[in-house]
Amino acid sequence: MKKMAIVAAMIIFVMVSSFLMNVTSQEDINVLKYMNGDQIHYIEIVTAGALEEVVAEAINNENQSVHYAVLNQPIKKTDHAGNKRNHFYITRSKGQLENFSKLSVYPPNGSSKLYNMQEIQTIDINSAAIGGNELKMMRDLSVMSYNIHHGKSLLGGDSLDTIADLIEASGADIIGLQEIDKGVYRSKFRNQLKYLADRLSMYYVYGENVNFLSGKYGNGILSRYPITYSENLLLPSRREQRGLLRADIDIDGKKVHFLSTHLGLNSAERAKQMGVIQDYTKTLTEEVILVGDFNSSSRDEDIRSISKKMLDTGYAAGQDQQPTLDFPFISGRIDYIFISPTIELKDYRVIKSRASDHYPIEVKLTLP
């Protein structure tokens, strides 16, 4: 009898917990509508970090259902209170957003709730307008991507100063970095990105992905130009947490979205991570430069997929066979710089330095 009472109590506890979780999940959902002028640019659904999938149903002004979508590739962000939140996106490629008046959201195992969408302008139309007599500027830019292997050379020696010298000699204006330590024993507890930024007199932003040996490990961005906004996004990951670091950079009055990433070692994991990155880039309003260590060859589906939307600078320059990871037992191009089609590619090169286990790549660009 006592055993039956314990089992009954456990069943009730599970049912109440499940109910409270569903209620909390529904109360912890925000729906935002981002406007570009008078057009809907994209819709964002923000949920608690535990919700990995939601179903969204769009309702028009006549209270008719006009769109239905299962969203299961969230980007994870940490809010100002330190809470992890999942962000799902509905972009113009997924539906005629002008017909969306309200959104009904169904969490797993929960009943739907109808949401009015909070409206947010993505650009200031007045400041974005260009007068008829204003001269259009063409801006030249040098961009680098570099996996620095936590500042260790191929032989294991400390190479952070060599890396700083290489970046300085290259003349690169913006650098996307991967595998950067912050306060880790193996790299003398240094804040490696700040060290490089101070050496090179650059602005910087860091995106931590992993708590590692009492410190942090992640991606970084260095820039000669001011960084006006940044955010670090956690990508869906099976083993080591991977991330996408965004910086909005003001290049003589021209805003560019600069993204630095480092994808996983498993092909299925990378495919999902790339899908999330592509969804996210559709929410951006300005030209995009995406750099990083993608751990993929140009024949892999994730690279072929992004290359349909953005320009693969190595391929466009005829350097597809130039390795960025080069050993006797393994050699190939796994580091990339992708650019919006409106950006002009002037030059591409691989810098063959053994300051890291990867070669850095650099491109010369002209912004529209």
322-347 pLDDT tens trace: 999 999 999 999 999 999 999 999 99
**In the prediction, which pLDDT does 25 show?**
47
Is a pLDDT exceeding 80 seen at residue 31? yes
User: For 114-168, how does the pLDDT look when each residue is reduced to its tens digit (9 = 90+)?
Assistant: 777 788 877 543 344 444 444 557 799 999 999 999 999 988 999 999 999 999 9
CA distance 174 to 151: 18
Same domain, 224 and 358: yes
Domain ends where: 100, 125, 150? Answer: 125
- Strands laid side by side in the 54-59 sheet: 65-71, 54-59, 102-106, 113-116
| pLDDT value for 129 | 40
Same domain as 143, residue 116: no
Specify if 21 maps to a domain: no
pLDDT of residue 4: 55
48 falls within a domain: yes
Residue 207 has pLDDT above 80, yes or no: yes
Is 190 inside a domain boundary? yes
Indicate whether 15 belongs to any domain.
Answer: no
**Same domain as 190, residue 121:** no
Same domain, 95 and 191: no
CATH code, domain with 328 = 3.60.10.10
Residues 166 and 292 in one domain: yes
pLDDT mean over 285-298: 97
Both 195 and 320 in one domain: the answer is: yes
**pLDDT exceeds cutoff 50 at 85:** yes
104 lies in the same domain as 185: no
Residues 202 and 235 in one domain: yes
Using CA atoms, how far apart are residues 240 and 242, in angstroms rounded to an integer? 6
CB 312 within 8 A of CB 303: yes
Q: Do residues 183 and 46 both lie within one domain?
A: no
Residue ending a domain, among 98, 125, 152, is 125
Domain with 38, as residue range(s), is 28-125
Domain-terminating residue out of 125, 148, 183: 125
Backbone phi, psi, residue 146, to 5°:
-150, 115
Query: What is the C-alpha separation between 146 and 115, in angstroms, rounded?
Result: 43
Q: What is the pLDDT of residue 58?
A: 80
CATH number of domain containing 53: 2.60.40
The total number of structural domains that make up the chain: 2
Question: Lowest-confidence range among 18-27, 69-78, 219-228, 304-313?
Answer: 18-27
Per-residue confidence (pLDDT) for residue 323, from 0 to 100 = 98
10 exposed, middle or buried (CB, 10 Å; 0-12, 13-18, 19+)?
exposed
Q: What is the pTM of this model?
A: 0.84
Q: What is the pLDDT of residue 133?
A: 42
Give the tens place of pLDDT for each residue, 89-123: 888 765 667 778 777 887 776 677 877 778 887 75
Query: pLDDT value at position 95?
Result: 60
Helix extents (H) in the chain: 2-27, 125-128, 160-170, 192-200, 267-281, 301-307, 313-316
User: Quick one: 237 and 161 in the same domain?
Assistant: yes
Query: What does pLDDT average to over the chain?
Result: 86
My answer on whether 148 and 296 are in the same domain is: yes
